[in-house]
């Protein structure tokens, strides 16, 4: 098999916009080869971090870090891979020995580079399933807001790649992103993290700052170094409402024959029932607009989102929103409903982080204690420290509230300024045409 012949397809997300769904629809096509869901998302990151290792060390490190591909006990439940199959009682995993054997035979010193690493990973995965054949003409891989370092290397390895930008109505995306980032905020160990700020930055300015590094994501815009013909947008709502027309158009764009399998949501040939936090469903929803839109939100919040994402909404064929007027400038300074929820999380987050730090201090002192007579004085000291730090955390809370408010206003003003002064219509990825 010639590893160089495959056409490379990357799937980019616009928040929670159906990327895993489109992967599942492509799963059983006879021309398509892919690793399930988001499992392949960090392959370039792994390469960049471990490329200096010897081949044997590199492979062992890969197998250790991706043990969840092979061990049923470690399979990710968040992606819904523990509830697969007709009766939702099957787990998604592959044979480790078959994967390792193919990898060792095909990834050698002569072809030790990032491109062949990506290709061999995908072919080894298919080989372990017993689905590898010469019919496989397309490799589908998640791009999914990876860092510029990673996607730049991807574009260098596969200059003729095509990108599917999965998108959805911005208001629905806003509520869905709040739900997703809210969980991250609650678990975050970083005081600077705010889920409303993260959601609006991603939605309005195409900017990602959840990790330590911050960067532009190009979730709804064209990548600057690619031809516009290499990118298309697919609306999640269109796929649910008219799956056959959408998948026929996608098949034509990918230059593969349309098959009934494009209407089946599977991974590794097993029925997939959606992500853990989403509606349990195999296939398509009858009313996709109700899945996230208008859920416990304020109408003024939705009007502001629609006004600031006007170009995306029009380009992707949604109902035409209101025009940007000067009244919007005033309303930008009114807090969003979710900002009040953020304050609540701040109130609980700061003491929790302090408690975690105190707990580590207690554990460290317990492990170092050798004289029991000091235990009471240590406990009194720790209680006193805890009380003082809690008082300090309450004093710090207003500072973080002000910081969050100002940061969100900056995001909104940037989005408004760009919408007024620049021609966004030429930057928004155009929607695929139905055939």
| Tokens 């709502």 found at | 237
The mean pLDDT value for 33-40 works out to 93
Of 359 and 259, more confident: 259
Q: Is residue 243 part of a domain?
A: yes
CA 116 – CA 2 distance, rounded (Å): 11
| Predicted confidence (pLDDT) per residue in 53-72, tens digit | 999 999 999 999 999 999 99
Q: Is residue 396 part of a domain?
A: no
CA torsion, ordered 105, 111, 112, 113, to nearest 10 deg: -130
* Number of Cβ within a 10 Å radius of residue 257: 11
CB contact at 8 A, 322 and 372: no
| Predicted confidence (pLDDT) per residue in 73-102, tens digit | 999 888 899 999 999 999 999 999 999 999
SS3 288: helix
pLDDT score of 189 more than 60: no
Residue 215 sits in a domain of what CATH number? 3.40.50
Per-residue pLDDT, 271:
94
Six-digit token string for 355: 């408690």
**Total number of domains constituting the chain:** 1
Q: Is residue 323 part of a domain?
A: no
* Number of Cβ within a 10 Å radius of residue 124: 23
Which residues span the domain enclosing 43?
3-168+210-271
The mean pLDDT value for 259-273 works out to 94
Lowest mean pLDDT among 39-43, 331-335, 425-429: 425-429
User: Which among 419, 353, 429, 425 is positioned nearest to 389, based on CA atoms?
Assistant: 353
The mean pLDDT value for 320-333 works out to 72
Q: What is the mean pLDDT of the chain?
A: 82
Q: Is residue 302 part of a domain?
A: no
The mean pLDDT value for 239-253 works out to 95
CB contact at 8 A, 203 and 173: yes
pLDDT score of 170 more than 50: yes
CA 305 – CA 155 distance, rounded (Å): 32
pLDDT score of 395 more than 50: yes
Q: Is residue 154 part of a domain?
A: yes
Per-residue pLDDT, 263:
94
Task: Kindly indicate the confidence band of residue 379, based on its pLDDT and cuts at 50, 70 and 90.
Answer: low
Q: Where are the alpha helices (DSSP H) in 318-434?
A: 326-331, 337-368, 375-421
Six-digit token string for 154: 């991807």
Task: Kindly indicate the confidence band of residue 393, based on its pLDDT and cuts at 50, 70 and 90.
Answer: low
pLDDT score of 408 more than 70: yes
Q: What is the DSSP string of 275-288?
A: -TTS---SS--S-G
Q: Is residue 254 part of a domain?
A: yes
Q: Is residue 66 part of a domain?
A: yes
CA 248 – CA 231 distance, rounded (Å): 17
pLDDT score of 373 more than 80: no
The mean pLDDT value for 261-280 works out to 87
Per-residue pLDDT, 350:
61
The pTM (predicted TM-score) of the whole model is 0.85
pLDDT score of 272 more than 90: yes
- The CA–CA distances, whole Å, from 402 to 244, 301, 334, 337, 343 equal 49, 20, 13, 16, 10
Q: Is residue 118 part of a domain?
A: yes
């Amino acid at each position: 098999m010639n590893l160089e012949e495959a056409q490379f397809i990357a799937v980019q997300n616009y928040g929670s916009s159906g990327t895993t769904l489109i992967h599942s629809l492509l799963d059983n096509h006879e021309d398509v080869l892919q690793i399930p869901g988001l499992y392949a998302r960090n392959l370039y990151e792994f390469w960049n971090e471990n490329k200096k290792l010897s081949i044997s060390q590199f492979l062992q490190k890969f197998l250790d870090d991706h043990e969840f591909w092979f061990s049923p006990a470690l399979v990710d439940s968040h992606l819904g891979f523990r509830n697969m199959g007709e009766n939702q009682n099957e787990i998604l995993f592959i044979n480790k020995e078959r994967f390792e054997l193919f990898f060792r035979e095909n990834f050698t010193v002569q072809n030790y580079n990032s491109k062949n690493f990506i290709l061999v990973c995908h072919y080894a995965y298919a080989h372990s399933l017993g689905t590898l054949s010469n019919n496989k003409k397309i490799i589908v891989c998640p791009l999914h807001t990876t860092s510029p370092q990673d996607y730049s290397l991807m574009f260098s390895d596969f200059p003729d790649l095509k990108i599917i930008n999965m998108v959805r109505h911005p208001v629905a995306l806003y509520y869905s992103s709040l739900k997703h980032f809210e969980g991250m905020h609650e678990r975050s160990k970083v005081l600077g993290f705010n889920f409303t700020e993260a959601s609006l930055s991603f939605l309005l300015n195409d900017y990602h700052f959840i990790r330590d590094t911050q960067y532009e994501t190009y979730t709804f815009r064209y990548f600057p170094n690619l031809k516009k013909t290499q990118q298309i947008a697919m609306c999640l709502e269109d796929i649910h409402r008219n799956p056959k027309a959408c998948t026929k158009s996608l098949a034509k764009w990918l230059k593969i024959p349309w098959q009934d399998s494009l209407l089946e949501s599977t991974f590794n040939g097993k029925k997939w029932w959606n992500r853990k936090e989403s509606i349990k469903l195999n296939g398509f929803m009858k009313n996709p607009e109700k899945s996230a839109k208008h859920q416990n939100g304020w109408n003024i919040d939705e009007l502001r989102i629609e006004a600031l994402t006007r170009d995306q909404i029009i380009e992707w064929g949604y109902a035409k929103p209101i025009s940007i007027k000067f009244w919007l400038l005033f309303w930008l300074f009114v807090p969003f409903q979710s900002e009040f929820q953020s304050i609540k999380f701040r109130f609980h987050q700061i003491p929790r982080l302090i408690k975690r730090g105190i707990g580590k201090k207690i554990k460290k002192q317990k492990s170092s204690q050798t004289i029991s007579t000091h235990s009471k004085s240590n406990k009194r000291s720790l209680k006193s420290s805890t009380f003082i730090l809690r008082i300090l955390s309450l004093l710090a809370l207003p500072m973080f509230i002000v910081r969050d408010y100002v940061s969100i206003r900056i995001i909104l003003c940037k989005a408004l300024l760009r919408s007024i002064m620049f021609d966004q219509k030429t930057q928004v990825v155009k929607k695929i045409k139905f055939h």
